[in-house]
A = this chain, B = another copy of it.
Amino acid sequence: MGEPAFALRDATVAIVGLGLMGGSLARALREKNACKELIGIDRDAPTREQALTRGVVDAASADLALASQANVIILATPVRAIIKQLPRVGAIAHTHTVVIDLGSTKRAIIRAMESLPAHVQPIGGHPMCGRETSGFGAADAKLFANVVFVLTPLERTSHATLTFAMSLVAALGARPLVLDAERHDQIVAAISHLPYALAAALMLTADARARADELTFTLAASGFRDTSRLAASDPAMMLDILLTNRENVAELVRASARQLHRLADLIADNDETALRARLTSAATKWRELFES
């Protein structure tokens, strides 16, 4: 594939899915005037209307066909929607079109990208940001500022495409990190999918307790709210994520359950020394990570 066929500033960029991620990406590109033209694809009419009215996109459609004009197609839908959309993207895309996605797991998407026709240039992407809000209304041009933006190239991804993707990441104010898709999925299982599973387990366990005592949540303060906050994530989005990263997530969720059984045993056995060692290790590590 060789040289980049275009620079970002001359490119027509189509964003498929104008939710929190796609909408924020569109707003960021528009605010920075980073590309020539922005096309929005979304099945929701009020979202398209808003994006057009606010001048965030120049054209919008429910039909992916409109993206055929684009030099860059960015898929910002949930993981399994991306996988379903890829064959159609391959069918409409011009030669040299760069296809990027923002999906939260990468192996399954990369595998689907391998089947794209040879004349398009795919590369996986995952900005490490997220909020419990969703939809275009929650979109924020600053969502990507200073976040790590993982890029997972395929074997067929050209150096020029990788360079182009890095210029897109830089335009968003994010920090590119090139990673193997397998390694990405292992890491996000630990720092993203596991916290979500723990938050959901907390909410479900406390809720079962609340059914036995209606005052339970009256006493809940910010500690409970913050620890359980990720449980409010969109279940449809999370299902896609968990089910396309099954082995890694199941393994780590089980490891955390074993960790909890061990803590429960130490507490029940009044084993102060071993318990102190474990709690001190957790506290020290947290402060090392987030207070330095």
Contacts and interface: CB of A to CB of B under 8 A. Distances in A.
Nearest to A279: B235
Contacts of A147: 221
Given A191-B219, A255-B205, A233 B283 contact: yes
Q: In the complex this chain forms, how many copies of it are found?
A: 2
A264 B234 CA distance: 19
Contact of A183 (B207, B213, B246, B285): B213
A247 interface: yes
B250 A208 contact: no
A206 B256 CA distance: 9
Given A224-B191, A226-B229, A201 B256 contact: yes
Given A191-B216, A195-B224, A217-B191, A260 B256 contact: yes
Most chain B beta carbons < 10 A, residue from A128, A213, A243, A256: A256
Contacts of A217: 191, 289
Given A204-B278, A264-B253, A268-B246, A199 B219 contact: no
A228 interface: yes
Contact of A260 (B183, B203, B254, B283): B254
Given A207-B285, A228-B286, A253-B264, 18 more contacts: A128-B221, A148-B221, A150-B219, A187-B219, A190-B206, A191-B221, A195-B223, A196-B223, A199-B282, A201-B256, A201-B259, A205-B252, A208-B255, A226-B226, A229-B286, A232-B290, A233-B283, A253-B263
